[in-house]
Every structure is written in C-alpha cells, then in structure tokens.
Amino acid sequence: MRNVVKVELGARSYEVRIGTGLIGNAGAEIRPLLRRPRVAVVTDATVGALHLAELRAGLGDVEMVSLALPPGEGTKCWAEFQRVVEWLLEQKVERKDIVVAFGGGVIGDLVGFAAAVLRRGVRFVQIPTSLLAQVDSSVGGKTGINSPAGKNLIGAFHQPSLVLADIDVLGTLTARDFLAGYGEVVKYGLLGDPLFFEWLEAEGPRLAAGDRATRLKAVTRSVEMKAEIVARDETEEGDRALLNLGHTFCHALEAATGYGERLLHGEGVAIGCALAFELSQRLGLCSQEAPSRVRAHLREMGMKVDLADIEGDLPDAEGLIALMAQDKKVLDGKLRFILARGIGEAFVTSDVPREVLKGLLEEALAARR
C-alpha cells in the first residue's frame, strides 16, 4: 500500500511517500539521496523507544547515529536547538549529508530548523510519526522553535528532500495524540474540500479505530491539499495562510496554556476551527448549519470543541485578543483571520470587528463557568 504525492517547487521539489512498511525499507528509500552511507537521526525518547530499532534495521547497511530528545512541545526551545546543532557538528555531519527528523511535529520543526542553519544548510528527510506530522508539519518546509514571546516565532523555510509517512507507525500513538492530529485532517476538509469533510463525517470513527485503508486515504488527501497550496505559495504571501484555519485562536490558547499537556496543538486547532466557523456565522458569512456540523463531527470523534473543554484558568477575552496580536499573520498591526462562507470555502480577511470577536470570546469563556 503506497501513494506518492509530489510537492512541486522547482529545484526544491520532493516526494511525500505515504504507505505501509516505509520505515522497514528506509535504507532503499533514502539511499539515492546519500553521498555516503551514513545518516544522523534525531528523534524523541518516546518514538525512539518504540520505533528506532525498526528504523535502524530498515536502514540496512546505511550507518546510523542517533540522538533522542525529551518528548513534548517544551523541546522546541533554544536550549534543545543548540543541543541538536552541536550534536550534529560533533557527529561531523557534512554539508552533503542527510539529517533525519524521526518523530512528531516537534522533532520535525526543530530538526528541520537545525538542518537549515547547520553549515548554512544541509538536506534533511522527514519521517513523521504522529498523524499531525504526517498530514501537516512534515510537508511544506516551515521549520522553527517557540519563543517565550509566542509560538513558532523563530525559524526558517527549509524544504525536506523527502518525506516518508509510514501509516503503520500511527498504531502506537495515544488516542489523545491521534485525535489531536485528526484536528488538522478535519481542517483540510473545512478549508477547501467539502466532499472530504463529508467523507470524514462518515469514515472518521473507522479511521480512529485503526483501519489502514481509511488512514491511507485521509493522510494522502491531506498531503495532496497541503502540497498543492504550498506549491502555489511557498512562503505564505497569500493562499498558504488558508492552512492556518483555526490557528489564530489556537496560538493564543496555546500561549495561554503554556504550550503543554493542558492543550495539544491539534486540540487547539479543532477548538480554533469551531470558533472560526462560529465567528463566520456571526458575521453573516455562513449559515448556522456550518458551525453546527463542525461541532457535531468534532464531538462525535470525542475531541475538544469548546473553551470549556480546556482545564484550568484562561485569560479574559481582552487577554486572549492580546495574545492573538502576537500571531505571525498580523499585518500592519491588524489581526488576520481565516473565515469561511461554508464548509470547504475558507478565505483570509482582516475585516473582523473587534466587538464581534470580543463578544464571541466572552460568551465562550462564560460557558466555562
């Protein structure tokens, strides 16, 4: 079982191979890119314990050195970034070598950024192991780390040379991490493909239960959509911002909850999508049916949908709006939102009256009490 999606970026084009058995065949998959039979692999401790032995075996006669970092969003920081870069230098990774990011979005973002700056840029391969990383973060070349001032504020565009998305590896994700990744899958349907959303409404439960054919299709369709948007707008001058549906809210909520276990990124995306559709409806852009359908599907999948689903304190509406102002999409000091005229019809706008936004957040916060 295998699908291949090409990310068309001229000389920086690459393949995303999606299927089963890719890790066990990693040596053959990666070897054409190698100048010498050696790779440096960076993973996190959880993924390393579960899957590094399989990767080592799959690499065959390609020598592998590896480093395992602590799991979790806190790892996307200066200290771990410095550790990775210095480790790669200690391993004498050369300009023509390949660095492998083997893990979820945290490892992909951090290691991609390290590869971007190491010796002014070395090539890297993404082997994404979380659903979120397979459908989103491993494709498109956004790399980086977090700052205390906000999420993903330090980074670079650096495209991978190859992405190997082995869907078998998803079987060891916790249910919570799997569903967090599903938040990004739903996002693709909501932003541009109503039939995909309809398919997810029907097949989502089977997908979550582990059906491989359904997983292959969901990952492939998501990657196709991302690849197509990235090819049109690599550095987010326009359409790529659509991929940020739900993210203006999400980034503020992640900052408010300390980038940790209280709220996973994909959970924030799901809540953010529900809020973006609610905001669209309040602005008269779409019918009430659209936000209701979004919420119903997220609920059916057992996902977080409301601010009330986040434990612990949150800032008030003004505090959340202040956090949104740190978003990278802010242009000329104005917040930009991805809103929708219906399911699958998202667009970018700066035209959101502050009182409507504040009213929405105040109501959502009040429902927590």
For the four alpha carbons of 276, 108, 119 and 79, in that order, the dihedral sign comes to positive
Known catalytic residue: 123? no
**Catalytic one of 215, 247, 304, 336:** 247
User: CA-to-CA distance for 72 and 306, rounded, in angstroms?
Assistant: 23
Site string (149-168) toward ligand NAD, x via CB under 6 A: ---x----------------
User: CA-to-CA distance for 13 and 89, rounded, in angstroms?
Assistant: 27
Site string (178-197) toward ligand NAD, x via CB under 6 A: --x-----------------
- Amino acid, res. 30: I
Known catalytic residue: 293? no
For the record, the structure tokens of 217 come out as 């299709």
User: CA-to-CA distance for 342 and 130, rounded, in angstroms?
Assistant: 29
Stretch that binds ligand NAD, among 132-140, 215-223, 324-332, 356-364 (CB under 6 A): 132-140
Instruction: Determine the longest span between alpha carbons in the chain, in angstroms.
Output: 62
Q: Does residue number 172 form part of the binding site for ligand NAD (CB under 6 A)?
A: yes
Q: How far is the CB of 221 from ligand NAD (least distance, A)?
A: 17
Judged by CB under 6 A, which of 19, 27, 105, 150 binds ligand NAD? 105
Q: Does residue number 136 form part of the binding site for ligand NAD (CB under 6 A)?
A: yes
**Catalytic one of 151, 187, 221, 251:** 251
Query: What helix, strand, coil percent values describe the chain, rounded to 5?
Result: 55, 20, 30
Which neighbouring-strand residues pair with 142?
157
User: How many C-beta atoms lie closer than 10 Å to residue 54's C-beta?
Assistant: 15
Q: Decide if 167 contacts 212 (C-beta within 8 A).
A: yes
Which class for 364: exposed (0-12), middle (13-18), buried (19 or more C-beta within 10 A)?
Answer: buried
Q: How many helices (DSSP H) and strands (DSSP E) are in the chain?
A: 13, 11
> CA angle 27-29-34, nearest 5°?
70
For the packed helices 175-192 and 212-232, what is the interaxial angle rounded to 10 degrees?
A: 50
> Which residue number, 212 or 358, has a Cβ lying nearer to ligand NAD?
212
For the record, the structure tokens of 366 come out as 């009040």
**Catalytic one of 184, 224, 254, 278:** 184
> Which residue number, 257 or 281, has a Cβ lying nearer to ligand NAD?
257
- By three-state DSSP, how is residue 79 classified? helix
Size of the site for ligand NAD (CB under 6 A): 30
> Which residue number, 73 or 193, has a Cβ lying nearer to ligand NAD?
73
Stretch that binds ligand NAD, among 66-74, 293-301, 308-316, 334-342 (CB under 6 A): 66-74
> Which residue number, 24 or 359, has a Cβ lying nearer to ligand NAD?
24
Stretch that binds ligand NAD, among 31-39, 43-51, 206-214, 289-297 (CB under 6 A): 43-51
Judged by CB under 6 A, which of 140, 189, 246, 344 binds ligand NAD? 140
> Which residue number, 229 or 317, has a Cβ lying nearer to ligand NAD?
229
Known catalytic residue: 158? no
**What residues make contact with ligand NAD under the rule CB under 6 A?**
44, 46-47, 50, 71-73, 76, 103-107, 109, 129-130, 132-133, 136-137, 140, 142, 152, 169, 172-173, 177, 180, 265-266
Q: Which residues are catalytic?
A: 120, 142, 184, 226, 236, 240, 244, 247, 251, 265
